[in-house]
Structure 1
Amino acid sequence: MANPRHIVFGTAGHVDHGKSALVLALTGTDPDRLAEEKAREMTIDLGFAFLSLPGFEEPAAIVDVPGHEMFVRNMVTGATGIDAAIFVV
């Protein structure tokens, strides 16, 4: 595959199903960066991380979105522009 394009993954799943934990395990980057997210133990705003993939010149981007219905606007914002979803059940 010659010069594959940059790919953007987005997480998808209900609150507290481990989306952020999966991003941390895959990339070593904790996408929950806000103090309020740490205190409430839930994603509130979009989180970002990068993952090197074989055959790609550029690392893949991962957008970690909130799973709680109170933050659905942030989730929709994060879903804009993704190429594929990582469903966490």
Structure 2
Amino acid sequence: MYVIGTAGHVDHGKSTLVECLTGIDPDRFQEEKDRGMTIDIGFAWITLPSGREVSIVDVPGHEKFVSNMLAGVGGVDM
């Protein structure tokens, strides 16, 4: 299984991209939806036409949540 991470500046559409690719909204908490920004790491997955599974870790982009971002990138394939 591959693990992909989305990281970047706040409000650049990382979570929207993940949802478009997988159909899964990685923002799980009501506060994230209310504020329109990822606060904690989110997860989604997709099975490629080849049958290979890919997990996606969506990490926060806001500077106040860097500790959450760092927790999420530990499992990303580099």
Query: Taking structure 2 as the reference length, what is the TM-score of the superposition?
Result: 0.94
- Kindly indicate which of the two structures has a greater share of residues assigned to helix: 2
The number of equivalent residue pairs is: 78
Among the aligned pairs, what percent are the same residue? 63
Give the equivalent residue in structure 2 for 1:66: 60
Query: Displacement, 1:81?
Result: 1.4
Higher RCO (C-alpha 8 Å, min separation 6):
1
Does 1:77 find its partner at 2:75?
no
SS at match of 1:51: strand
Q: Which runs of 5+ in 2 are unaligned?
A: none
State the structure with more CA Rg.
1
Give the equivalent residue in structure 1 for 2:40: 45
SS at match of 1:22: helix
SS at match of 1:63: strand
C-alpha deviations, 1:44-72, integer Å up to 9, x for none?
Answer: 00100001123344x20000000000000
